[in-house]
Amino acid sequence: MQEESPFLWDYMEEYTRKMAGIFHAFRIDNCHSTSIHLAEHLLKVARQVRPDLYVCAELFTGSEEKDFAFVTRLGINSLIRE
């Protein structure tokens, strides 16, 4: 995916680094609609700047198994559910 739009990936990585340098926590709205590989990558970038980043995510999957996959792969600390 990165090969298809390197400018956009570089831009979002730099933005993520800046935000991680300013904030101690991220809220991911509509996390259930975000490609998990993209969220995983950008959170890895953020945690290089702030290893103790707190992540709150909005998950409306309707499935405990899907929630568990997001929580474990992304290292989510808390959920917002409908």
The structure's pTM equals: 0.90
pLDDT band, residue 46 (cuts 50/70/90): very high
- Average of per-residue pLDDT across 6-14: 95
The predicted structure's pLDDT at residue 57: 96
The predicted structure's pLDDT at residue 4: 80
The predicted structure's pLDDT at residue 62: 84
DSSP 24: S
User: Collapsing DSSP states into helix, strand and coil, what is residue 45?
Assistant: helix
Which one, of 20, 72, 60, lies nearest residue 43 by Cα? 20
Name 25's bridge partners: 54
> What is the Cα–Cα distance from 49 to 72, expressed in whole angstroms?
20
